[in-house]
Chains A and B, each alone.
Chain A
Amino acid sequence: MGKNKKNICLLHNTIRGDEKLLIEAAKKFAVNLDVVDVTDLILRTKGQFKFDVILDRCLSSTKGIHAGLFFEGIGIPFVNTVKVAQICEDKFATSMKLTEYKVPTVSFAMVFNVDQAKIAIEEMGGYPIVIKPTVGSWGRLVNKINDLDALEAILEHKDTFAGPIHKSFYLQKYIEKPGRDIRVHNINGQVIAAIYRKSDHWITNTARGAQPLPCRIDQDLENIAKLTGKAIGAGILGIDVFETKDGYLVNEVNHKLEFKNVQRVTSIDVASKIIKYCLTCAL
């Protein structure tokens, strides 16, 4: 480790294109970057860790949060903070925080049985409705429910076969989109980049094949992304936004940006901005 250089730990459990961009970006700064696989660590308070800041890039949200609890506990800054990660990791927690800060967001309900679900759906304007696991990414198990038959079938299957987390039913109003949604990046309160994610499918995750395209950040988009940042807390955030006739609505907030598509289509050096932010958090 070099003298006077900050020691950043890039904590991961898989190296993807995003992590390689971060490794390259770090070379532009006077930092030592240690690339550490979280599964190689033993997190005991007796451990000696000489990092000034940890950048959490664990693909596993659970491992990332446990590592965060450890490193924050021994006084090493963790980016994003566990507080931010825990809000973003749970879609219901995100919805509650957005509501608290009056961020325009998609109507939602949490229910625990089919009878409650029927009432909630009626209150939310009827079918179609979207059901999502509170934890998860890349559109996994995100289902559009078009009628009562489908609702009963999906909830019965979850109740019978799924683990406890899937028996809390997080429902969202289905929003008709113009064949795309928007991913906005907010780093430490600054709205730095946005892309459209264009798809013929109603699920518009790039992990599911949506095409990333550059998106101009207008004032309303910047405002809603900044307000979302205030609601969730300072950090590196990927905010998913729907366009509706009544304005923008925040759908979800992600705490571990997959930014390589954004960097590619906008030419904005997101990786360097992430490293720079880490330096502002370092000891």
Chain B
Amino acid sequence: MKANCPICDTSLKLSADLIESEVFECVDCHRKIVVKSIGKKIELEEAPGVEEDWGE
């Protein structure tokens, strides 16, 4: 699977087991990217920043 980083536009080779809502790091700009949808077209977005109530 291939898609471009929504931030730096680098062409990314995506892992075959990637699933919706999964977060990964762009190999080029190192920003966190979230998978919004996987269908005919893969949609990626910049992952939201850490919120005050996030965590364990």
Contacts and interface: CB of A to CB of B under 8 A. Distances in A.
Contacts of B22: 14-16, 20
B53 A135 contact: yes
A61 B53 contact: yes
Interface residues of A, number: 27
A238 B56 contact: yes
B7 interface: no
Contacts of A133: 52
Nearest to A137: B55
B28 interface: no
Interface in B23-51: 23, 34, 47, 50-51
A280 B51 CA distance: 32
A12 interface: yes
Contacts of B47: 14
A95 interface: no
A256 B55 CA distance: 8
A136 interface: yes
A113 to B, nearest CB: 22
A213 interface: no
Given A14-B34, A14-B47, A61 B55 contact: yes
Interface of B: 17, 19-23, 34, 47, 50-56
28 contacts: A12-B21, A13-B21, A14-B21, A14-B22, A14-B47, A15-B19, A15-B21, A15-B23, A20-B19, A20-B22, A35-B19, A35-B21, A37-B20, A59-B54, A59-B55, A60-B51, A60-B54, A61-B55, A136-B52, A136-B53, A137-B54, A137-B56, A138-B55, A140-B50, A207-B55, A238-B56, A254-B55, A254-B56
